[in-house]
């Protein structure tokens, strides 16, 4: 069954607009734990957060609170930095997804360059796996990146769907076929296949039929919809579009 991980980073973005630099976040609105609980009540299979080096939205305290209270899976997105790795090893989320990270970007703009950077990534993957944390690589739908991820010992890849989401007409179909081919390649390599970035209530109908998909990680579209209908309804509507629980 296809599963939904809800990324709640932008709930924290709203909070930080009013409470920048706050280290003790439990009395700040909107409450991250309350948002995660609403997603779980609606049927989300996991919660995803990205602890960035600049702490622009999710804070360290959020990750520890979520680990303590979540009823579902915690998927921690992180850059390959010693400081964030140390936190991940303390928190021990169910899953870690290694992502590229730039201070200049507004949101993650592309996949991680695994091929060619194996030496830098291998110790991180090894330490996470030794701690019992499942490891995913957020990559472009490219065979070389898939093969490099498998060679490093990652158990999953998350295919970056941003180019597909931003494309129009024939370009969108071509990007979709890249994702389909990559999903088949990753599955053949023994990897769990996840996908995320730019998936919304309209284009998800094209993503759901992609073969071998296990998890979709969706955040921005759900948080935007929640402004009008609330998080529980927004999550339930996305699950319905995915055909989950129908």
Strands (E), the chain: 3-7, 46-50, 73-78, 95-98, 134-139, 156-160, 192-196, 213-218
Cβ(133)–Cβ(94) below 8 Å: yes
Catalytic residue check, 197: yes
DSSP 49: E
What CA–CA distance (Å, rounded) separates 223 from 8? 7
Spatial CA neighbour of 47 closest among 217, 208, 222? 217
Bond prior to 46 in cis (omega within 30° of 0): no
Catalytic residue check, 45: no
Residue length, the chain? 246
> Hey, how many other C-beta atoms are within 10 angstroms of the C-beta on 243?
13
Strand partners, 194: 158, 215
Residue with tokens 């703009």: 109
Q: Under 8 Å CB-to-CB from 242, ≥6 apart: which residues? A: 2, 4, 204, 208, 216
Residue of 40, 45, 57, 77 with catalytic role: 77
DSSP 102: -
Residue of 45, 160, 185, 197 with catalytic role: 197
Catalytic residue check, 77: yes
Residue with tokens 């599955």: 187
Residue of 50, 57, 160, 185 with catalytic role: 50
Active-site residue list? 50, 77, 197
């Amino acid at each position: 069954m296809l599963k939904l991980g809800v990324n709640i980073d932008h709930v924290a973005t709203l909070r930080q607009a009013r409470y920048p630099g706050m280290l003790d976040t439990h009395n700040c609105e909107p409450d991250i734990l309350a948002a995660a609980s609403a997603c779980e009540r609606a049927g989300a299979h996991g919660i995803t957060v990205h602890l960035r080096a600049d702490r622009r939205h999710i804070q360290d305290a959020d990750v520890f609170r979520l680990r303590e209270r979540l009823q579902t899976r915690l998927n921690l997105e992180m850059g390959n930095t010693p400081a964030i790795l140390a936190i991940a090893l303390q928190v021990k989320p169910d899953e870690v997804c290694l992502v590229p990270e730039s201070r200049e970007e507004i949101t993650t703009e592309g996949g991680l360059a695994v091929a060619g950077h194996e030496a830098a990534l291998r110790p991180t993957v090894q330490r996470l796996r030794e701690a019992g944390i499942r490891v995913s690589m957020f990559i472009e739908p490219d065979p070389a990146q898939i093969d490099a991820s498998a060679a490093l010992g990652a158990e999953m890849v998350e295919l970056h769907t941003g180019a597909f989401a931003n494309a129009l007409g024939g370009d969108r179909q071509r990007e979709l076929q890249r994702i389909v081919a990559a999903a088949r390649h990753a599955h053949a390599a023994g990897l769990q296949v996840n996908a995320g970035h730019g998936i919304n209530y309209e284009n998800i109908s094209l993503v759901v039929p992609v073969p071998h998909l296990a998890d979709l990680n969706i955040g921005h579209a759900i948080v935007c919809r929640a402004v009008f209908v609330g998080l529980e309804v927004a999550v339930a509507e996305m699950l319905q579009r995915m055909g989950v629980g129908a």
